């Protein structure tokens, strides 16, 4: 048996030390070093000196709590949200927006050089929002019961399931905030009971609202623990009066003991099944459960970059792997000969096809399945040779088989859209080893005030 190594952290639990922050982790915590031993401390900013209480020590690293700031960074700012430190939905409101954008650029640079060995690749400054607030187009709010018996609608306290009542979430579009408040008051007026997750009783689990800024349409979704929703008619009437731009009122039923918000069954209570939104000149139909980017303004910025990197002239064959509801596919289709999209979730593909019809686009095809199985088959059985390959995988990155298939198919250009710099770097390395070169990477801030980093890479075949 291997002898257990004794751990000699230079600090001890509960000890208070003084140290300076040198870096930030990918969850936005400050990194202070004591004799080379890193301590991760939420809300610390590089350049700051602080008193830190050691909370936990492990082999090689530890965790601390910021007790007092002794020197303050110019990048620090007062978080405007009054519930920022309780909520946990945002992680970097205490940093100025410029600092947030630089932090995201550095995350990408560090991942590319440390994980991908790509030290020379140019990572552009992050494209941010002019006004990095009130950008989210979807609110999903848990409902609970206050001590006085009335309904509360809010957020789960950090690392818990306690619901804190909330009046506003300042990264939500105002229409969502206002509608959630209105729905809460109306449901309370008709004495609808909140769901109690411990007892698995009560009716209303979540209120979800989706807002399409370009059309002004709003959708209200009641997520209920069962078929029953008392006083349905009155609820609908009051909502229509209280929220004039409501276009769709929907009930979704979720009877499971689960943290997953949506159940399998959805029914329209009033109005349309869909609301419509535009990104550029493409129209999208959004149903209660459709996946849709939450920051449409920045989505346009991201897709414009993807389009630029794809360098389409009109006669190209394009593959869009991990295509979701076909947002990128349709955005590229107007400039390409043909786009093939593939996506593993059948409902998303149904949405993609509907969106293609809605936009009268005939040069797109969508298939359900795993990209790594469907695309090799397209290649072998149908002889499809893409000029441009677009991928937008989930956090875990591209499947190994898919990367190998890309190398076999030899597209001229690969446009890699990524929400995780670490797996992006890993995959770019494999593409480089297979004869491709990463030309440039553009981070785009899709989620201001949070640590999420999105970027797009331009990769070309070496000749
Ligand atoms: N490009 C889309 C969605 C990207 S999210 C947009 O911008 O809106 C990533 C998508 O990949 C999700 O829709 C997920 O369902 C899908 N997915 C995950 N694993 C997959 C796989 N192995 N093959 C195909 N699609 C997959």
pLDDT per residue as tens digits for the range 375-395:
999 999 888 999 999 999 999
pLDDT for res 361 = 97
Other C-beta atoms lying within 10 Å of the C-beta of residue 59: 10
The Å distance, Cα 350 to ligand 1 centre, comes to 14
Q: Once rounded to an integer, what is the mean pLDDT over residues 442-446? A: 98
Q: Once rounded to an integer, what is the mean pLDDT over residues 456-461? A: 98
Per-residue pLDDT tens over the stretch 42-61 = 999 999 999 999 999 999 99
The Å distance, Cα 150 to ligand 1 centre, comes to 40
pLDDT for res 105 = 98
pLDDT for res 9 = 83
pLDDT for res 158 = 83
Give yes or no for residue 5 having a pLDDT over 80. no
Closest ligand 1 atom to Cα of 402? 22
Give yes or no for residue 344 having a pLDDT over 50. yes
The Å distance, Cα 201 to ligand 1 centre, comes to 35
Annotation marks residue 90 as catalytic: no
Domain(s) of CATH 3.40.50.150: residues in the chain:
105-129+295-461
Contacts of 153 (CB under 8 A, 6+ apart): 141, 142, 143, 144, 163, 165, 166, 180, 181, 183, 184, 207
pLDDT for res 303 = 96
Domain 105-129+295-461 sits in which CATH superfamily?
Vaccinia Virus protein VP39 (3.40.50.150)
The CATH T-level fold of domain 138-279 is: OB fold (Dihydrolipoamide Acetyltransferase, E2P) (2.40.50)
Closest ligand 1 atom to Cα of 399? 22
Give yes or no for residue 2 having a pLDDT over 70. no
Provide residues with CB under 6 Å of ligand 1: 291, 293, 322-324, 327-328, 342-345, 348, 370-372, 392-394, 399
Give yes or no for residue 4 having a pLDDT over 60. no
Per-residue pLDDT tens over the stretch 212-230 = 999 999 999 999 999 999 9
Contact assessment for residue 250 and residue 266, using Cβ atoms and an 8 Å cutoff? yes
Locate 261 and state its tokens. Answer: 């918000």
7-21, 67-81, 202-216: lowest mean pLDDT where? 7-21
Give the residue numbers of the binding site for S-adenosyl-L-methionine: 293, 322, 343, 392
* % pLDDT > 90, the chain: 93
Locate 57 and state its tokens. Answer: 């020590």
Question: Which of these is catalytic: 81, 87, 419, 455?
Answer: 419
What's the pTM? 0.93
Rounded Cα–Cα distance for residues 417 and 331 (Å)? 14
CA atoms within 13 A on the CB side of 337: 8
Per-residue pLDDT tens over the stretch 88-134 = 899 999 999 999 999 999 999 999 999 999 999 999 999 999 999 99
Locate 193 and state its tokens. Answer: 């009971």
pLDDT for res 207 = 98
The Å distance, Cα 342 to ligand 1 centre, comes to 8
The CATH T-level fold of domain 16-71 is: OB fold (Dihydrolipoamide Acetyltransferase, E2P) (2.40.50)
Domain(s) of CATH 2.40.50.1070: residues in the chain:
138-279
Q: Once rounded to an integer, what is the mean pLDDT over residues 10-23? A: 94
Per-residue pLDDT tens over the stretch 24-43 = 999 999 999 999 999 999 99
Per-residue pLDDT tens over the stretch 277-308 = 999 999 999 999 988 999 999 999 999 999 99
Assign 6 a pLDDT band (cuts: 50, 70, 90): very low
Rounded Cα–Cα distance for residues 450 and 319 (Å)? 31
pLDDT for res 88 = 85
Q: Once rounded to an integer, what is the mean pLDDT over residues 70-74? A: 96
Tokens 């993807």 belong to which residue? 306
Domain(s) of CATH 2.40.50.140: residues in the chain:
16-71
Per-residue pLDDT tens over the stretch 134-152 = 999 999 999 999 999 999 9
Rounded Cα–Cα distance for residues 46 and 29 (Å)? 10
DSSP class of residue 368 equals E
Specify the residue with its C-alpha closest to ligand 1, atom 16: 322
Pick the closest to residue 407 from 376, 366, 369 (CA basis).
376
Average pLDDT, the chain: 95
pLDDT for res 209 = 98
Specify the residue with its C-alpha closest to ligand 1, atom 3: 324
Rounded Cα–Cα distance for residues 397 and 378 (Å)? 21
Pocket-testing residue among 279, 340, 343, ligand 1, by greatest number of atoms within 8 A of Cβ: 343
Ramachandran area for residue 28 (φ above 0: left; ψ -120 to 50: alpha; else beta) = left
Q: Once rounded to an integer, what is the mean pLDDT over residues 334-359? A: 96
Pocket-testing residue among 369, 374, 394, ligand 1, by greatest number of atoms within 8 A of Cβ: 394
The Å distance, Cα 173 to ligand 1 centre, comes to 25
Per-residue pLDDT tens over the stretch 233-250 = 999 999 999 998 999 999
Specify the residue with its C-alpha closest to ligand 1, atom 1: 323
């Amino acid at each position: 048996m291997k002898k257990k190594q004794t751990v000699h952290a230079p600090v001890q639990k509960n000890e208070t030390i003084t140290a300076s922050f040198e870096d930030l982790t990918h969850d936005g915590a400050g990194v202070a070093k004591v004799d080379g031993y890193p301590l991760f401390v939420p809300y610390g900013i590089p350049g700051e000196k602080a008193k830190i209480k050691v909370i936990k020590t492990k082999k090689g690293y530890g965790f601390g709590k910021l007790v007092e700031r002794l020197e303050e960074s110019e990048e620090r700012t007062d978080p405007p949200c009054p519930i920022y430190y309780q909520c946990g939905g945002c992680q970097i409101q205490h940093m100025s927006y410029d600092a947030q954008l630089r932090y995201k650029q550095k995350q990408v640079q560090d991942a590319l050089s440390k994980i991908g060995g790509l030290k020379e690749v140019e990572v552009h400054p992050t494209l941010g929002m002019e006004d990095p607030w009130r950008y989210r187009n979807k609110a999903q709010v848990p409902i609970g019961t206050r001590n006085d018996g009335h309904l509360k609608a809010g957020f789960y306290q950090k690392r818990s399931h306690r619901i804190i009542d909330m009046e506003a979430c300042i990264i939500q579009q105002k229409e969502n905030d206002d509608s959630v408040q209105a729905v809460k008051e109306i449901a309370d007026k008709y004495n609808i009971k909140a769901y109690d997750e411990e007892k698995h009783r009560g009716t209303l689990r979540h209120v979800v609202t989706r807002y399409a800024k370009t059309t002004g349409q709003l959708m209200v979704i009641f997520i209920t623990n069962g078929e029953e929703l008392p006083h349905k008619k009155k609820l609908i009437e009051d909502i229509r009066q209280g929220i004039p731009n409501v276009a769709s009122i929907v009930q979704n039923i979720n009877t499971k003991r689960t943290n997953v918000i949506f159940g399998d069954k959805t029914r329209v209570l009033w109005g349309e099944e869909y609301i419509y939104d535009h990104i550029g000149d493409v129209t999208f139909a959004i149903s209660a459960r459709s996946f849709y980017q939450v920051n449409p303004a920045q989505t346009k910025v991201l897709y414009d970059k993807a389009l630029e990197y794809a360098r389409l002239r009109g006669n190209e064959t394009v593959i869009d792997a991990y295509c979701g509801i076909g947002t990128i596919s349709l955005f590229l289709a107007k400039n390409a000969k043909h786009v093939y999209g593939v996506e593993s979730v059948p409902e998303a593909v149904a949405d993609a096809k509907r969106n293609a019809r809605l936009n009268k686009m005939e040069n797109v095809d969508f298939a359900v399945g795993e990209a790594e199985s469907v695309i090799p088959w397209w290649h072998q059985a149908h002889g499809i040779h893409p000029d441009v390959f677009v991928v937008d995988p989930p956090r875990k990155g591209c499947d190994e088989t898919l990367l190998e298939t890309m190398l076999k198919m030899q597209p001229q250009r690969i446009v890699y859209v990524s929400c995780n710099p670490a797996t992006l770097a890993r995959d770019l390395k494999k593409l480089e080893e297979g004869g491709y070169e990463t030309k440039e990477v553009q981070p785009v801030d899709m989620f201001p005030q949070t640590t999420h980093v999105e970027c797009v890479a331009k990769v070309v075949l070496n000749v």
